Structure 1
């Protein structure tokens, strides 16, 4: 994870972004469906493989996350780590770019890729949630 303060951003924003994505990564690492689903603001749009899909609620997104869990299991992916490349916020919106590195149980890198997110701050809790995901088309499979 990024250890430096994001240029021009408060430490509070930096910590909130890192906390959101740490929970997201831990949800995948531990195969905890609810932990992953709780990272999203609904409806959420996910762009992957050149196609955008809108998920109205957690129940709709669950099928997609479970398919990713199956892929992680088949590829023996046990650890996901990220670095925050850039993050900008304005009001209740934020835009974040991360690089991801996913490792197998033997420590070998399974995948490395970049992903962009639009975040929305929850009106009631004040927590940041993922509202839009755009996966980069080129994924480096090791």
Structure 2
């Protein structure tokens, strides 16, 4: 079944995508490494700054997440939010584009960017997990 993310009436797919990325946001907002790591299927590939890195397991990705926490701390990022640009699924694969905004405690926008994700449905739980992330280098259309 091919299902597109549609604004308005909530579908199971829409709710699952929102749940996954809300958990991801809360992990970053709370500096909770384990919560962030639980959002990924392994191995996972992350493309950022023109370079792709494959993380074989949660232990390898944890170093990257902790480095991001350091950036967040240095930039005083206190809150992240996302907006779904588009999303669709077919079988156990889904493709999602998000626009991200990260703010400091005073509400000032620290960073804005778009990111595209390939998701994989977990065989046991049926939950969606991030299998590939590609950070866009151009400014988003907020």
TM-score (norm 1): 0.91
Extract structure 1 runs of 4+ deviating beyond 3 A: none
- 1:14 paired to 2:14: yes
Aligned to 1:117: 117
Aligned to 1:106: 106
User: What are the superposed Cα offsets for residues 93-123 of structure 1, whole Å, 9 maximum, x if unpaired?
Assistant: 0000000000001110001110000000000
Per the alignment, in what secondary structure is the counterpart of residue 123 of structure 1?
A: coil
Please report the RMSD computed on the Cα atoms of aligned residues, expressed in angstroms.
1.5
Q: Is the 8 A contact 1:111 1:139 kept in 2?
A: no
Gaps spanning 5+ residues in structure 2: where? none
Aligned to 2:52: 52
**1:84 Cα offset (Å):** 0.5
User: What are the superposed Cα offsets for residues 52-109 of structure 1, whole Å, 9 maximum, x if unpaired?
Assistant: 0000000000000000000000000000000011001000000000000000011100
Aligned to 2:29: 29
The 1-side partners of 2:107 and 2:23 are apart by 21
Paired positions, count: 135
The 1-side partners of 2:88 and 2:109 are apart by 29
Per the alignment, in what secondary structure is the counterpart of residue 31 of structure 1?
A: coil
**1:138 Cα offset (Å):** 2.8
Aligned to 1:39: 39
- 1:76 paired to 2:70: no
TM-score (norm 2): 0.91
The 2-side partners of 1:117 and 1:82 are apart by 13
